[in-house]
């Protein structure tokens, strides 16, 4: 596994996740893997290989963000990244099951976004009470 995270940091990061709704883990994946994935994305004709669609500007709103798009990411070219991300997720909770993979694309001209929770606290509370599980998202920046 090329994802690097100190076992002692897991408890601290989980505390951040539960309190803030997100955690930031810079440089947990090998630079070579990120470079490889970026090269594959940039080498492809995205209009033919990835079907980017607009996403909502804010959770629960009906307004689309003209500067952000997403596309399903099911291709084998990204298998190593998916495998590494799954191993990283399992380090925090063995029962977490990644189910959906998408590529996000920010276009020039959009507003900067601070880290934020994409799933409203009310939805998290209901899911936890009913299923003892919650939805979670993992964003991997390819920069």
Containing H/E element for 123?
Answer: helix 121-131
With vertex at residue 112, the alpha carbon angle to CA 79 and CA 71, rounded to the nearest 5 degrees, is 30
Residue spans of the domains in the chain: they are 7-16+32-131
Cα separation, 29 vs 140, in Å, equals 9
pTM for the model: 0.60
Backbone dihedral region of 109: left (phi > 0), alpha (psi from -120 to 50 degrees) or beta?
A: left
Task: Quote the pLDDT of residue 59.
Answer: 65
List the pLDDT tens digit at each of the 143 positions of the chain: 456 677 777 788 878 777 777 777 777 788 888 787 777 766 665 555 677 788 877 666 778 888 888 877 766 667 888 888 888 877 777 677 777 778 777 888 877 776 666 667 777 778 778 776 666 677 777 66
Structure tokens at 47: 């209009």
Structure tokens at 16: 């951040």
């Amino acid at each position: 596994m090329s994802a690097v995270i100190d076992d002692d940091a897991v408890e601290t990061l989980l505390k951040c996740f539960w309190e803030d709704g997100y955690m930031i883990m810079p440089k947990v994946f090998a630079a070579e893997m990120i470079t490889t994935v970026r090269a594959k994305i940039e080498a492809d004709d995205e209009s033919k290989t990835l079907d980017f669609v607009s996403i909502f500007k804010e959770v629960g709103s009906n307004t689309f963000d003209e500067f952000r798009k997403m596309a399903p990411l099911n291709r084998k070219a990204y298998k190593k990244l998916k495998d590494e991300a799954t191993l990283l997720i399992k380090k925090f909770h063995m029962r977490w099951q990644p189910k959906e993979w998408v590529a996000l694309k920010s276009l020039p001209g959009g507003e900067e976004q601070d880290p934020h929770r994409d799933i409203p606290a009310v939805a998290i509370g209901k899911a936890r009470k009913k299923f003892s599980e919650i939805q979670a998202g993992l964003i991997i920046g390819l920069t």
